[in-house]
Amino acid sequence: MSGIGLIDGLRQTGSLAWRAIVQLKRNPWELGDYSFQPVLFLLLFVYIFGGAIAGSTDAYLTFMLPGIVVMNMMFVTVYVGHGLNTDLTSGYFDRLRALPVARWAPLAGRITADLVKQGWSIVLLLGLGWLMGFRMDNPIWGLAGMVVLVLIFALAFSWVSVLVGVVARDPEHVQLFGFTALFPITFVSNVFVPVETVPEWLQGVVMANPVSVLTDACRGLLLGGPWLGSALITLLWAAAITAVFAPLSVWALKRRLR
């Protein structure tokens, strides 16, 4: 089966990513999910709990901002599976597959669009954080490093979302499952509180959670603490998640399309 050249495939990926971005115009709810929701979280946590948790809102903002970026990244990935499932259940996926389009382009398009959305919400959160008084201690390479690390992890974690999107019966189930699973995963971490403050029996889980590891790396990169170790572990996690979930997703997709 003489397929499609890489250049053509990438161009098609670009067109399909454009589609996923344009869709946002007609679905303000999705945009709200990764615009207003994290903003609301940031404002509520900093101004309501900040004093109680960290002694002052400023100190808590410094502590929490890198974590909320990580947490929001996890939630944004749900829309990769959501969009994919919508296409599968509506038959739109068939329309794409009946065109002379690279087999990987529809998925690559979704994931590319996801990275754009990720970029948008990182900028939004850091911008708001800056307005609220957040200042980084490291030079700009720290910020760049953090963004790259978060995007790499997002790319890997998207495969989990793809699998859910392929297996789920309808888009609502993707969302339900995504959010139900992500709340414990992101809360049992050091995003909102320092690890020392949780019960000892839970500390092991919190520290092993890749969300905590990534958050540690982000804090180090922005605020000037140690980061290299946690960044490397994050990359290992990303590689492991991809190695497990990418083949699994492709297998499940082939099965569903039988």
Q: Closer to other proteins by CB, 100 or 199: give it.
A: 100
Amino acid identity, residue 131? L
Amino acid at the residue 238 = A
Least Å distance, CB 101 to other proteins, is 5
CB of 158 to other proteins, least distance (A): 20
Pick between residue 25 and residue 169 the one whose CB is nearest to other proteins: 25
Of the pair 26, 131, the CB lying nearest other proteins is at: 26
Q: Among residues 50 and 106, whose Cβ is nearest to other proteins?
A: 106
Q: Phi first, then psi: give them for residue 3, nearest 5 degrees.
A: -90, -150
Shortest spacing between CB 90 and other proteins, in angstroms? 6
Measured CA to CA in angstroms, residue 79 lies from 40, 74, 160, 167, 170 at distances of 19, 10, 11, 14, 13
Q: Compute the least distance from the CB of residue 123 to other proteins, in Å.
A: 24
- Degrees, nearest 5: CA angle 15-20-23: 120
Q: How far apart are CA 34 and CA 37, in angstroms?
A: 6
Q: Which positions lie near other proteins, rule CB under 8 A? A: 1-4, 8, 11-12, 15-16, 18-19, 22-23, 25-27, 90-92, 94-101, 257-258
Residue 77: in which H helix or E strand, if any?
Answer: helix 57-90
d(CA 157, CA 246): 10
